[in-house]
Amino acid sequence: MPPYVGVERTPHRRSEPGLETMLRTALGNAQQAGFVRQIKLWTRERFALAEDDVVMVAEIACGLPGCPPLETIVTFWTAPDTRHAFKIFKPAGGVTIDDLPPSWMKSAIISDGSEFSCC
């Protein structure tokens, strides 16, 4: 007879996060969203983007030697096939308007996506 037959088991329950943990997470997410909104706004202003031009901001972790632990990648489209992208070697919360490339580099940051395959 298998050893588990007739043995009572208590069901495993996941511990529920406490209210304090949930609030801290929600506040952190709201703060992060604020950083992303600000970077998007600066990008729109710096590169004179139209309201319907798509702007994406992503904070990513890099585990490769020589990479910063967190970096921010900004991507925007000015036409269906024209993607621009640049990387800032800081977390989104540390980005300032001076970290964005100058507006005259708009055509120089046209991207095919291959330049971000590594750090």
Domain assignment present for residue 8? The answer is no
Instruction: Record the pTM.
Output: 0.72
Confidence of residue 67 (pLDDT cuts 50, 70, 90): confident
Q: What is the pLDDT of residues 101-118, one digit of tens each?
A: 999 999 999 988 666 554
Q: Which residues contact 46 (CB under 8 A, 6 or more apart)?
A: 97, 100, 101, 102, 103
Residue 101: inside a domain, yes or no? yes
Q: Give the CA dihedral 41, 94, 84, 113, nearest 10 degrees.
A: -140
- 12 found inside a domain: no
Q: What is the average pLDDT value for the chain, to the nearest integer?
A: 82
**pLDDT recorded at residue 79:** 87
Its domain, for residue 44, covers 19-116
Domain count, the chain: 1
